[in-house]
Amino acid sequence: MEEHVLRYDGTWKGVLSLIFDVYAYKYNVSTIEIEDEASQPLLFTSAVMYVTTDDVKSARVTKGIIASVGQKGYLELYHVFLSEKWGRELLILRTTQYYLRTKVPASRNYAHGDVLEVKKIVKSVSRERHRMKAFVRFQLLDDGIYFAIVEPDFNVLPLVSKHFKDRYADQKWIIYDVKRKYGIYYDGDLVQEVEFGSGRRIDQKSITLAGHESELLYSKLWNQYFNSVNIKERKNLKLHIQHVPKRYWKYLNEK
Amino acid sequence: MGSRIQEKLSILADAAKYDVSCSSSGSDRKNKDKGLGNTGAGICHTYTEDGRCVSLLKILLTNHCIFDCAYCVSRRSNDVKRAAFTVQEVVDLTINFYRRNYIEGLFLSSGIFQNADYTMERLVRIAKKLRNEHNFNGYIHLKTIPGASDELIFEAGLYADRLSINLEIPTEAGLKLLAPEKNHREMIQPIKFISNTILQTKEDKKIIKSTPKFVPAGQSTQMIIGAAKESDLQIIHAAQHFYKQYKMKRVYYSGYVPISNDLRLPTIGTEVPLVRENRLYQTDWLLRFYGFEANEILNETNPLLDLDIDPKLSWALRNMDKFPVDVNRASYEMILRIPGVGVRSAKKILAARKFEKLRLEHLQKLGIAMNKAKYFISCHGYIQRYADQQAEKIKHFILSNSSSKYVKAASSQLNLF
């Protein structure tokens, strides 16, 4: 049987449209690639198929998944997508196929290999999402915007945008992912994705330079506080590092 | 003004750090009218080098105190630097820390100056200002000052998410010895008042929806461990009493950190009883999430917790007749009692066994601590071989196959006896 290599545009809606096409055209999928990143030479046995991202198709697949495993099961698959892990599309496809052919909601079958793999990824992505809620450190800039730089392992900004919007409803803020070179910006009303031109350097130094005059004081006070609440007699650096892994220290002003 | 406020912060945060509560969950306060902040699941924004969560700006309003409790660093007779924040300073710190995403809110406690009401009134004023003038919807935890009037405590409860009063010493005799100016009754009275008012508010809310929130995240308390020769039995039975009688949300256990040469207390340099504290927390979890009663774990024949093994394993070894538990058939309650199975794993087992009969390899992948669980379960394709073994032997197997993170601490503690 002929095998198909599917190429899509790298978006979540693209993945959903791809799942639609797999059902519509009965593809026998061997590989899924993002168009821009596809480079490997192809075997003669495989045919390359291009998936067009389509609102109607993706909406229908969304509906199907939700009907089968609920909103929660659907969001879990979205988390897997945001993990950017290699092979995530195939895992999402296989798991969706399993969900859709099972009569009872199957997203809680912890004895199923793919479901368990999904849960594992969801756990790491959720942990990263939670850590971003915790470790974002805003710095007040001269122009009144609270700016934070992050460098998360997974693409979690879409998952924290509502949290920050609800919490900091009366201040303008930007959370910028330096790894993926985009940020989310709340203008006091709406959150939108932003990118900065390649000419503008966004790093800790440029942010500090643009800082408001009160910024240094509060950063210092926070440091003071962090050191004062520590109980030396109970020192436990192993536990400390377990909770605040070193890769996050770069943007934590108390460290 | 920068250096003065920095000095105050260092004194008043340092004095507040022995209060171990850091919870900021359980309130679900929404951000109203595009103000500042909300509360939800609770977030630890950082961790100190001792590994404890930092969720709130935890400070004393002042460390001046008219009391002389032996175990307290701010006691009247202690020669330490004293300081006091103004109301505005606390408000500014809270708002500015919060806006930078450093904290979930404020935990404000205080030494008692002049009298209880005078102190309580200041705490209330800060909370009120944050809520009313700054539309601050983040978390506020206030200390209830023993002896404060019901009216002030009631007002505090309208602005705070949580109120707490620390019992510190679980026995009346211990309290008399170490804090002669405090009395047990005066500490329990406000706890009762708050508990009743919370219940009453819930009833009222059923009829009148607009009834204002009163301490939505409930009350908590704290007991110091290892200062007054109290037994684990006394501590845990006191905790259960608080949970049942006053519907407390949390009881915290704080291993006593020696801070004084007072002969009534462990001398400076004595190790903090970390293992014991950990075992008490594990027991507390068993009471709250695992359906255990205090006297199943601690009773007249077993008044002390085993330091080598966790209290659930300890209970299981004393009750070998209840095992093995068949994970494919047993009730949730019984699955929860298997050593090595936590609340999450128990729920996963219940969900997964609807699809297929669970085998050992399934359980392994679910994240169950098989090194313990394997002595207490049976499942598809696995017959329990250890069921008729003696408890002592199983304990030995488990201990020889695991290395406790407390080994060092435990051995140095055992040397004392």
Range with the poorest average pLDDT among B44-58, B193-207, B401-415: B401-415
Q: Is the pLDDT of residue B150 over 60?
A: yes
Q: Is residue B300 part of a domain?
A: no
pTM score of the predicted model: 0.92
When divided into structural domains, chain B yields a total of 2
Residue-averaged pLDDT of chain B: 92
Q: Is B38 on the interface with A (CB under 8 A)?
A: yes
Query: What was the ipTM of the complex prediction?
Result: 0.93
Q: Is A53 on the interface with B (CB under 8 A)?
A: no
Q: In angstroms, rounded to a whole number, what is the distance separating the alpha carbons of residues B143 and B191?
A: 11
pLDDT, mean of residues A141-170: 96
Which helix (H) or strand (E) segment holds residue B220: the answer is: strand B219-225
pLDDT, mean of residues A222-251: 92
B153/B210 same-domain check: yes
Which helix (H) or strand (E) segment holds residue B219: the answer is: strand B219-225
pLDDT at A40: 63
Q: In angstroms, rounded to a whole number, what is the distance separating the alpha carbons of residues B340 and B350?
A: 16
Angle B165-B166-B172 from CA coordinates, rounded to 5°? 115
pLDDT at A131: 96
Choose the mutation target among B99, B224, B341, B357 for the interface with A, i.e. most A CBs under 10 Å.
B99
Q: Is A223 on the interface with B (CB under 8 A)?
A: no
CB atoms B49 and A235 under 8 Å: yes
> Which residue reads 């920050």 in tokens?
A164
pLDDT at A198: 77
Q: How confident is the model over B308-366, as pLDDT tens digits?
A: 999 999 999 999 999 999 999 999 999 999 999 999 999 999 999 999 999 999 999 99
B70/B132 same-domain check: yes
List of E strands, chain A:
3-8, 29-34, 46-50, 139-140, 146-150, 173-177, 182-186, 191-194
B217/B322 same-domain check: no
CB atoms within 10 A of CB A28: 12
Q: Is the pLDDT of residue B414 over 50?
A: no
Q: In angstroms, rounded to a whole number, what is the distance separating the alpha carbons of residues B405 and B245?
A: 35
Q: Which of B10, B36, B97 sits opposite A228 (nearest CB)?
A: B10
Q: Where is the domain boundary, B245, B263, B292?
A: B292
Share of chain B above pLDDT 70, in %: 96
Q: In angstroms, rounded to a whole number, what is the distance separating the alpha carbons of residues A253 and B278?
A: 30
B323, B385 in Cβ contact below 8 A?
no
Cis ω on the peptide bond leading into residue B324 (within 30° of 0)?
yes
Q: In sequence order, which residues have a C-beta less than 8 Å from that of residue B188 and are 6 or more positions away?
A: none
Which residues of chain B lie closer than 8 angstroms to A242, CB-CB?
Answer: 51
pLDDT at B74: 94
B351/B262 same-domain check: no
pLDDT, mean of residues B178-184: 88
B71/B219 same-domain check: yes
Q: In angstroms, rounded to a whole number, what is the distance separating the alpha carbons of residues B121 and B126?
A: 9
Residue B415's pLDDT band (cuts 50, 70, 90): very low
Write the CATH number for B69. Answer: 3.20.20.70
Q: Is the pLDDT of residue B417 over 70?
A: no
pLDDT at B183: 86
Choose the mutation target among A102, A124, A140, A225 for the interface with B, i.e. most B CBs under 10 Å.
A225
Q: Where is the domain boundary, B292, B326, B360?
A: B292
pLDDT, mean of residues A183-192: 96
pLDDT at B386: 78
In a 13 Å sphere around the CA of B382, the CA atoms on its Cβ side amount to 25
Q: Is the pLDDT of residue A16 over 80?
A: yes
Please report, for chain A, the start and end positions of each structural domain, with discontinuous segments joined by +: 3-126, 136-251
B72/B112 same-domain check: yes
pLDDT at A39: 63
Q: Where is the domain boundary, B260, B292, B324?
A: B292
List of E strands, B94-208:
105-109, 139-143, 162-164
Residue A246's pLDDT band (cuts 50, 70, 90): very high
Closest-CA distance of chain B to residue A6, Å: 32
Q: Is the pLDDT of residue B370 over 80?
A: yes
pLDDT at A206: 87
pLDDT, mean of residues A63-84: 97
Q: Is A71 on the interface with B (CB under 8 A)?
A: no
Q: Is the pLDDT of residue B288 over 60?
A: yes
In a 13 Å sphere around the CA of B191, the CA atoms on its Cβ side amount to 24
CB atoms within 10 A of CB B224: 26
pLDDT at B1: 59
B260/B393 same-domain check: no
Q: Is residue B327 part of a domain?
A: yes
B94/B139 same-domain check: yes
Q: Is the pLDDT of residue B407 over 70?
A: no
B49/B170 same-domain check: yes
Q: How confident is the model over B201-243, as pLDDT tens digits?
A: 999 999 999 999 999 999 999 999 999 889 999 999 999 999 9
pLDDT, mean of residues B167-194: 90
pLDDT at A146: 97
Closest-CA distance of chain B to residue A28, Å: 27
Q: Is the pLDDT of residue B411 over 80?
A: no
Domain residues for B187?
2-292
pLDDT at B41: 85
Q: Is B83 on the interface with A (CB under 8 A)?
A: no
Q: In angstroms, rounded to a whole number, what is the distance separating the alpha carbons of residues B362 and A112?
A: 9
Q: Is B136 on the interface with A (CB under 8 A)?
A: no
Residue A188's pLDDT band (cuts 50, 70, 90): very high
Minimal-distance CA residue of chain B relative to A239 = B51
Q: In angstroms, rounded to a whole number, what is the distance separating the alpha carbons of residues B319 and B292?
A: 13
pLDDT at A42: 60
Give phi and psi for A123, each to the nearest 5.
Answer: -65, -45
pLDDT, mean of residues B262-272: 90
Greater confidence (A233 vs A140) lies with A140
- For chains A and B, what is the number of CB pairs under 8 angstroms? 151
Minimal-distance CA residue of chain B relative to A140 = B100
